[in-house]
Every structure is written in structure tokens, then in C-alpha cells.
Amino acid sequence: AQTVTQSQPEMSVQEAETVTLSCTYDTSESDYYLFWYKQPPSRQMILVIRQEAYKQQNATENRFSVNFQKAAKSFSLKISDSQLGDAAMYFCAYAGNTGTASKLTFGTGTRLQVTL
Amino acid sequence: EADIYQTPRYLVIGTGKKITLECSQTMGHDKMYWYQQDPGMELHLIHYSYGVNSTEKGDLSSESTVSRIRTEHFPLTLESARPSHTSQYLCASSEQPGVGSEAFFGQGTRLTVV
């Protein structure tokens, strides 16, 4: 079974600074997707960024980028120029490309605080 | 704006009552999921569905049951609520996450059993 591990329960970053959230996963599959989801306080979970395992280039979405190390099974999220609105729980997730049987497996989450 | 809705948002109910948490999506997604989440904590998958008349138990054992009679509707039922069922329940839907499809989440139902 696939597992997703987030070893940082809480992180803190100052506004305008950069922070990196860690995620490792375990799988025997070769074709899969990785995701970072954001859950703001009392608001809906939303997708931040996704990465296909076959793509060597790291995904980027504005201030959010990933460092995908397939051999090491590592998928970290970098937030640049942090803003107060970035404060949230961040969940790393994995989905194997197993057709109709594919489903999301989430990590335990990292709570990010953004300070002035 | 995600087209997935959960009702009620908040529910306080007495022990032993039967409850149904509603989840509906208008995106035509085949896959739907129920997660249990204590505030600020990890998500536990309790049920999922690949499509109409398909339901599976998730990674966390749950006394709840689900049904999927229509594509857009995935209700969760507790036959006899207990204080241990107090939690937040999140519903989600997606196409094929294994090919990168985004999952859309509802706003959640905060259940308190007294």
C-alpha cells in the first residue's frame, strides 16, 4: 500500500520569506501523480499544485513550486514571498495511475503559520 | 468555485439518533470520497465510490454506511450516533486522480454527538 509522510506537524515563516514543506512517499508504482492541497481555517480544501511522476521538470504555480526527487521519493513544496493568506494546513497527496481504482492518499498535514 | 455541497454544515445531535450527512456534486464526477477529520488534524478516508452502485470502505474503520444510487449524490449514514462519532466529515469528488485530476472538496459537516 502507498503511504505519504509529512514529518513537520507545524512550520512558521515570516511574511515575504520562503518556506519549504517536506513530503515523502512510498510506492512500488512507476506512474502516479503527487499533489499539494491547502486547507485554510474553516474553509474548503483546494489544490495548490500537482506533479506527474514521469515529468522531470518541477511544477510551478506562481509563488508555489515543488522539488520532486523521484528516486528519493520526495516531494517538497516551496512557498516564496509568503503572504498572510498562505496560513493553512497543507496536505501532500498521492494517486497511482491505476485507472478506475485510483484514489488519493493523504499525508498527516503540516500547519503553516505566517507571522508579520 | 467548487460545485460540491454538504449539508448540514453543523449538527448537534443526541446519542442513539440516526443521522444522514448529505453530499452532492454537479460536476459529473464518478469518484466520490468521505473523509473524517478532527479539527486541524489529518484526513482519514472512511468511504469511497467509483461510480453508481459502487462503494468501498476506506482506510479507517467506520460504523457509518454510504450509498451511491445517483452519480451526483453520496450520502453518509450513522444508524446510531455516539460521542465517539464527533468529528468533521469532508466529502470530495474527482475524475481520475491517477492522471492528475483535481479533487474538489465540500465545506464539511461538523458533527457533535452529545
DSSP secondary structure of B41-97: S-EEEEEEEEETTEEEE-SS--S-EE--SBTTB--EEESS--GGG-EEEEEEEES-G
The shortest C-alpha distance from A108 to chain B (Å) reads 4
Residue in B50, B45, B44 with CA at minimum distance from that of residue B29: B50
- Taking the C-alpha atoms of residue B2 and residue B14, their distance in angstroms, rounded to an integer, is 32
> What is the full per-residue pLDDT of chain A (116 aa) written as tens digits?
678 999 999 999 999 999 999 999 999 888 899 999 999 988 899 999 999 999 889 999 999 999 999 999 999 999 999 999 999 999 999 988 776 667 788 999 999 999 99
Q: Which of A52, A92, A97, A106 to mutate to test the interface with B (most CBs of B within 10 A)?
A: A106
A27-40 pLDDT, tens digit per residue, is: 988 889 999 999 99
Cell of A77: 513544496
The shortest C-alpha distance from A37 to chain B (Å) reads 9
Residue A15, number of CB atoms within 10 A of its CB: 12
Angle subtended at Cα B39 by Cα B105 and Cα B110, rounded to the nearest 5 degrees? 65
* Residue B4 near residue B24 (C-beta atoms within 8 A): yes
pLDDT above 80 (res B96): no
B27-85 pLDDT, tens digit per residue, is: 999 999 999 998 778 889 999 999 999 999 988 888 899 999 999 999 999 999 999 99
Per-window interface: A 46-85 vs B, CB < 8 A = 46-47, 50, 52
